[in-house]
Amino acid sequence: MARARVKSVLLEAAVDPEIAESLTTAWILERDFLLEAPSESSARWVVGNPPYVRVGEVDHDLAVRYRNLWPLMRRRADLYIGFFEAGLRSLEDGGVQVFIAPDRWMRNQYGEPLRRLLDEDFALELVVDLHSTQPFASRVAAYPAVTVIRRSPPSSTDVLRVRKGVESVTSGMITQGRAATQEPLIERSELLRESGHRWAFAPQAHVERLRRSSSTFLSLEETGAVVRAGIATGADRVFVTSDSTLVERAALTPVVGPKDLRSGELSWVGRYLVNPWRDGDLLPLASQDLPRLFSYFEDHKRELQNRYVSRRNPETWWRTIDRPVDENWRRPKLLIADINHQIEPVLAGEEFLPLNTLFYITSSTWDLEVLGGLLMSETAGDSVRAYSVAMSSGSLRMSAQYLRLLRIPAPDEISAEDAKRLTTAFRSRDRGEASRIGARLLGG
C-alpha cells in the first residue's frame, strides 16, 4: 500500500515510471525493526506506531535476541520500549523521532532506563497526552501518548493534555497549544523531572507547587513514616479463609484487604491468613503442636507446590511468597487500597495483617490520625496523581513507590491546632476540611 502511494506521488511529479518503481522498492522495506534496525546515527526522521505487545508474548528465542540487542527492554517491558531504543539510536544529530505509543513507560518501573536515556542524552521536546481521546479506529486498552524526541542536548519538555470532551486532535491544535498559554482545547504544562529519573505530570500550577515542595519538604519516609506493601501469598484461595475453625486457632491471623475498607472505615469481613509463620520463622512441617495446620497444607500440596516461590524453594513449599515480619506490621497502621480515585487512608489496629492489595503506613514519629487527615487532602491526592499510572477506569495506582514520593512537613512542624483539626477531619471523613488544611500546609 505504501509503495503504491509513494509511486503515485512520484508519477504525479512526472518521474519516469521505471525509476518510480525502483525507487519505491528501494525506499520502502518490510523488515523486523528490532533485528534489522537502521544503523547508528543514520536517520533524520523516525515515525512510528510501535506494537503494544508484552515481551513475554513473543517467541522466547526471539525475545532473547531482542533483549540482547535492546537492553532497555527489560523482562516485563513491552516491545515498544525496544522500538524507542532502536529508533533513538538510529537518529543522526538533530534527527527527530515521533511515536504514538502507550504512555506507561513515563511513570512505571520498566520505563526507568528509557527515561534515564532521555534525561541524559536526548531532548524530549513534546509529550501529547491523549488520555481523553480515542485516537484509534479500534479501542486499545493502553493510554497512548505522542512523543517528539530530538537527538540534541536535553531540554525542558512541553506537555500538552487534550482537555476532557475533546475527541480529536489536529496538528494545528498542537502548534497553538504550544504557543499559547490559554488554549481552550489543550492544556499546557511542563514536565517535572525528579531525582531517580522520575517524571511528574500535572497541571502547570501543580508542577510549580511540586517543585517548591521538593525543595521545602521532606519525603513521607524522611519524616519518619514507612510505606510497605501487604503480604503476597501466591495462593490466596488456600492461604486466606473465612472459616475460623479450619485449622488451629493459633495459626489463624486476621487479614485485611480492600474488601474490609468501607467508606473510610475498617469493617473487617472476618478473613484469616492460614499462617505458616511464627515470629518470622517458617513453622516446620513436623511440628507436633499444629497437626491440623499441616494436614491442611498437605491437602493442598499440589497447588502450593505449583507456585513459582515453591518451585524455587521446593523444600519449603508451604511458605507464603512474603514473610510477614512482626515488627513491621504488628502495630497501628494506615491502610491504603492500591487502586482508588483518591487517597483513602483507614486506621487499623495492630492485630490486622494487610494483604498485598493494600499498602500500609506505620510510623513512630507521626500521630497516624494527623497523617491520615493530611493524606486525605486533595493536595496530597493531586501529588500522587502527578506520579501515578492512571488506569483505564480513571483510578490511580497508589503503590508504595508513588506514596513515598509525597513531600510533606515533618510532624513537629504542624501546630497543635492544625493537628487537632486534621484528627477531627480524619475521624469524621471530612475531606473538605482536610483539603483546606492540606492546601495551606502542603502548599510549599
Ligand X SMILES: C[S@@+](CC[C@H](N)C(=O)[O-])C[C@H]1O[C@@H](n2cnc3c(N)ncnc32)[C@H](O)[C@@H]1O
- The burial class, CB within 10 Å (0-12 / 13-18 / 19+), for 243 is exposed
| Cell 530530538 -> residue | 150
Are β-strands 358-363 and 225-229 bridged in parallel, bridged antiparallel, or unpaired? antiparallel
What residue number has its CB nearest to ligand X?
49
Q: Which residues bind ligand X (CB under 6 A)?
A: 32-34, 49-52
Alpha-carbon distance of 114 to 94, in angstroms, equals 19
Number of other residues whose CB lies within 10 A of the CB of residue 440: 11
Kindly tell me which of 50 and 372 has the beta carbon lying closer to ligand X. Answer: 50
Kindly tell me which of 101 and 334 has the beta carbon lying closer to ligand X. Answer: 101
Q: How far is the CB of 95 from ligand X (least distance, A)?
A: 19
CA distances from 194 to 128, 130, 213, 343 (A): 20, 23, 12, 22
Q: How far is the CB of 397 from ligand X (least distance, A)?
A: 24
Kindly tell me which of 62 and 180 has the beta carbon lying closer to ligand X. Answer: 62
Q: How far is the CB of 78 from ligand X (least distance, A)?
A: 11
Q: Give the type of residue at 419.
A: A
Q: How far is the CB of 150 from ligand X (least distance, A)?
A: 21
Q: How far is the CB of 12 from ligand X (least distance, A)?
A: 24
Kindly tell me which of 52 and 317 has the beta carbon lying closer to ligand X. Answer: 52
φ, ψ of residue 104 in degrees (nearest 5)? -60, -35
Kindly tell me which of 34 and 419 has the beta carbon lying closer to ligand X. Answer: 34
Kindly tell me which of 64 and 205 has the beta carbon lying closer to ligand X. Answer: 64
Give me the half-sphere count of Cα atoms (radius 13 Å) on the Cβ side of residue 254: 12
Q: How far is the CB of 230 from ligand X (least distance, A)?
A: 36
Q: Kindly report the CA angle at 205 between 201 and 211, in degrees rounded to 5?
A: 65
Q: Give the type of residue at 279.
A: D
Kindly tell me which of 62 and 250 has the beta carbon lying closer to ligand X. Answer: 62
Q: How far is the CB of 36 from ligand X (least distance, A)?
A: 8
Kindly tell me which of 53 and 250 has the beta carbon lying closer to ligand X. Answer: 53
Q: Give the type of residue at 359.
A: F
Q: How far is the CB of 71 from ligand X (least distance, A)?
A: 16
Beta-strand ranges (E) seen in 90-209 are 91-102, 123-129, 144-150, 158-162, 186-190, 192-194, 198-200
Alpha-carbon distance of 118 to 46, in angstroms, equals 16
Beta-strand ranges (E) seen in 252-391 are 252-256, 261-262, 265-266, 271-274, 277-278, 281-282, 333-337, 339-340, 346-348, 353-354, 358-363
